[in-house]
């Protein structure tokens, strides 16, 4: 499993929406366009494959995401400095 | 009189009980309609039904009696009751029944139930249910679970059901064999789905889920179809309140045909059957995937549009540039042309000025030259005339001759000596002559 697969559905959706907005509003440089389109495809593929992971993979993946989320939540309130 | 009896005579307990039986038997009509709450109900091996009936005044028991329904009667009565109310006869239920008051010397007072009017219980249950709903409403619990957002992707499902229930199998099969190939993480939390213990058992399962709430997106409570009876556990206040307060959306699929149970009412989403719940979950995932697909399509569509626009504006820019260049060029060209023309004109003017001046000069030079030439010519003519006149040949023609002596021109007489030879040159030859004399 790739590290990038750990992106949550929500994150993926939000990022996709952002990309669409950027492109729709023409805020994006044509030079960056292919990069964004590529990213959108990757995000969409991650989601689609995640929806179809086997239960074992799914449980593992989801529990890992949970763990990360929890760790994040735990570490977030404390500023490192 | 009693005192007298004790004092003078007594009867046996049996006699007393016989007496009571006779009094009871004589003083009651054969059947009497009574309202009571079932405090306990049991069916023995023979199919006879034994009940404890109570009457309460605000939870305090103010009357209590035993009752029986004999097997032959119980079977038809319970069938009729279940059909009409959707419920079995059970503890806590208020019933209106017609009974025979009996007294037995050993077993005491007992009511032999002949008939039960289910409409009373239906009304009573409806009232209780209405009260439960009103209480939930008052406590702001009725809409609480509905206010939760459904998960973006309902993929991790906590199932409350009984593994032996037919609906559970349908649910699992339906989810696992969905045509899109979606995978679900399914965890079963076993609970009793009917009977008096169901409510407590489901609450326990909910609490178990609550302890690991982060692992789930959604809770489903499912129960197979089939038996339409015994749903009153789903009208229970405690269970309904627990579901209402549950931090995850709860979806119900309690297969039944009658009006919604209170649990259905407080749940986030209510479906008729477990299969419908499975369908709901699949469509939820599908919705997300459609959203993703549409976004991706939008990315492609907008990108194409953006590229098309860029291409168009590039072309536009090129055209503008082209146009501008042409403008500049033509402008420059015309400027240069103008300059050239001006240059031409100027130089032509300049040239002609110079030419004029030159020709003027030339004319002057010509005139001067002509004059000089004329003068020279005149001089030359004079000279020519002069030369002509002074040419020795011409002089000789006119009679002059040249005399030489010893090759020298003889210009004086003194040169000449007698006897010497003088050469005289004439036009047509020489004459030799000897000097004889001189004068």
Express each pLDDT in A63-75 by its tens digit. Answer: 655 555 454 444 4
Return the closest-CA partner of residue B246 out of B157, B341, B145, B335: B145
Cβ–Cβ gap B295/A9 under 8 Å? no
ipTM value of the model?
A: 0.72
Average pLDDT, chain A: 72
Residue B358's pLDDT is: 82
Residue B228's pLDDT is: 56
> Quick one: closest CA in B to A67, which residue?
B214
Question: Is residue B288 within 8 angstroms of chain A, CB to CB?
Answer: yes
Residue A1's pLDDT is: 41
For residue A79, give how far its alpha carbon lies from the nearest alpha carbon of chain B (Å): 25
Question: Is residue B215 within 8 angstroms of chain A, CB to CB?
Answer: yes
Residue B267's pLDDT is: 95
Q: Shortest CB distance from B306 goes to which of A12, A30, A62?
A: A30
Cβ–Cβ gap B292/A44 under 8 Å? yes
pLDDT at A81 over 50: no
Residue A3's pLDDT is: 46
- Report the C-alpha gap between B224 and A52 in whole angstroms: 27
Express each pLDDT in B266-324 by its tens digit. Answer: 999 999 889 999 999 999 999 999 999 999 998 888 888 888 888 888 888 888 888 88
Question: Is residue A42 within 8 angstroms of chain B, CB to CB?
Answer: no
Residue B155: strand, helix, or coil: coil
- Report the C-alpha gap between B258 and B256 in whole angstroms: 6
Residue B375's pLDDT is: 85
Domains and CATH numbers, chain B: 2-136 (2.40.50.140), 139-288 (3.40.50.2300), 394-434 (no CATH)
Helix H or strand E encompassing B373: helix B274-390
A45-62: average pLDDT = 76
Most A CBs within 10 A among B150, B299, B314, hence the mutation to make, goes to B299
For residue B345, the tally of other CB atoms under 10 A from its CB is: 10
pLDDT top residue among A35 and A79: A35
- Report the C-alpha gap between B161 and B223 in whole angstroms: 6
3-state secondary structure B296-344: HHHHHHHHHHHHHHHHHHHHHHHHHHHHHHHHHHHHHHHHHHHHHHHHH
- Choice among A6-10, A41-45, B186-190, B387-391 with the minimum mean pLDDT: B387-391
pLDDT at A50 over 90: no
pLDDT band at residue A54 under the 50/70/90 scheme? low
- Report the C-alpha gap between B256 and B259 in whole angstroms: 8
φ, ψ at B61 (rounded to 5°):
-75, 120
Residue B243's pLDDT is: 96
Question: Is residue B212 within 8 angstroms of chain A, CB to CB?
Answer: no
Cα-to-chain-centroid distance, residue A27: 22
Residue B105: strand, helix, or coil: coil
Residue A58's pLDDT is: 64
Residue B32's pLDDT is: 92
Residue A78's pLDDT is: 41
Contacts of A10 in chain B (CB under 8 A): 152
Contacts of A63 in chain B (CB under 8 A): 215
Question: Is residue B317 within 8 angstroms of chain A, CB to CB?
Answer: no
pLDDT top residue among B206 and A55: B206
Mean pLDDT by 10 residues, chain B (439 residues): 61 92 88 93 92 91 94 92 85 91 90 93 87 94 94 93 86 92 91 86 95 93 70 88 96 80 93 92 94 91 84 84 82 78 80 82 83 84 82 81 84 81 85 82
Residue A5's pLDDT is: 56
């Amino acid at each position: 499993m790739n590290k990038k697969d750990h992106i949550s559905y929500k994150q993926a959706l939000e990022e996709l929406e952002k990309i669409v907005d950027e492109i729709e509003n023409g805020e994006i440089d044509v030079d960056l366009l292919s990069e964004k389109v590529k990213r959108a495809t990757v995000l969409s593929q991650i989601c689609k494959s995640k929806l179809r992971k086997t239960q074992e993979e799914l449980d593992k993946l989801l529990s890992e995401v949970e763990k990360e989320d929890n760790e994040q939540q735990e570490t977030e309130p404390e500023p490192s400095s | 009189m009693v005192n007298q009896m004790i004092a003078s005579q007594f009867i046996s307990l049996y006699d007393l009980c016989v007496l009571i039986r006779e009094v009871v038997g004589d003083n009651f009509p054969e059947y009497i309609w009574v309202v009571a709450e079932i405090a306990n109900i049991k069916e023995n091996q023979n199919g006879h039904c034994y009940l404890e009936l109570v009457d309460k005044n605000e939870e305090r028991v103010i009357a209590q009696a035993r009752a029986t329904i004999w097997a032959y009667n119980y079977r038809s009565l319970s069938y009729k009751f279940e059909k009409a109310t959707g419920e079995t006869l059970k503890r806590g239920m208020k019933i209106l029944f017609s009974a025979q008051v009996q007294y037995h010397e050993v077993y005491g007072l007992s009511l032999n139930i002949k008939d039960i009017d289910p409409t009373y219980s239906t009304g009573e249950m409806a009232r209780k249910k209405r009260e439960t709903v009103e209480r939930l409403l008052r406590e702001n619990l009725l809409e609480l679970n509905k206010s939760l957002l459904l998960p973006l992707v309902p993929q991790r499902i906590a199932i409350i059901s009984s593994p032996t229930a037919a609906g559970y199998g349908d649910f699992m099969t339906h989810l696992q064999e969905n045509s899109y190939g979606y995978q679900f993480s399914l965890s079963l939390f076993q609970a009793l789905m009917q009977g008096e213990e169901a409510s407590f058992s489901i609450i326990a399962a909910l609490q178990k889920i609550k302890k690991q709430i982060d692992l789930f997106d959604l809770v489903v409570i499912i129960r197979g179809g089939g038996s339409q009876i015994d749903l009153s556990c789903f009208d229970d206040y405690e269970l309904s309140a627990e579901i209402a307060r549950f931090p995850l959306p709860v979806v119900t699929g309690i297969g039944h045909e009658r009006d919604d149970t209170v649990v259905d009412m407080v749940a986030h989403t209510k479906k008729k059957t477990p299969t419908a719940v499975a369908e709901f979950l699949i469509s939820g995932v599908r919705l997300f995937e459609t959203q993703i697909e549409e976004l991706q399509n939008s990315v492609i569509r907008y990108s194409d549009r953006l590229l098309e626009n860029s291409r168009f504006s590039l072309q536009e820019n090129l055209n503008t540039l082209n146009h501008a260049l042409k403008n500049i060029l033509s402008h420059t060209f015309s400027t240069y042309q103008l300059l050239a023309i001006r240059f031409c004109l100027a130089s032509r003017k300049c040239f002609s000025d110079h030419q004029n001046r030159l020709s003027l000069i030339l004319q002057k030079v010509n005139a001067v030259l002509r004059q000089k030439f004329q003068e020279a010519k005149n001089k030359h003519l004079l000279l020519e005339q002069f030369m002509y006149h002074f040419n020795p040949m011409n002089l000789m023609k006119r009679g002059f001759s040249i005399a030489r002596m010893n090759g020298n021109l003889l210009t004086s007489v003194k040169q000449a000596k007698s006897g010497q030879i003088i050469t005289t040159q004439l036009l047509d030859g020489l004459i030799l002559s000897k000097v004889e004399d001189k004068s």
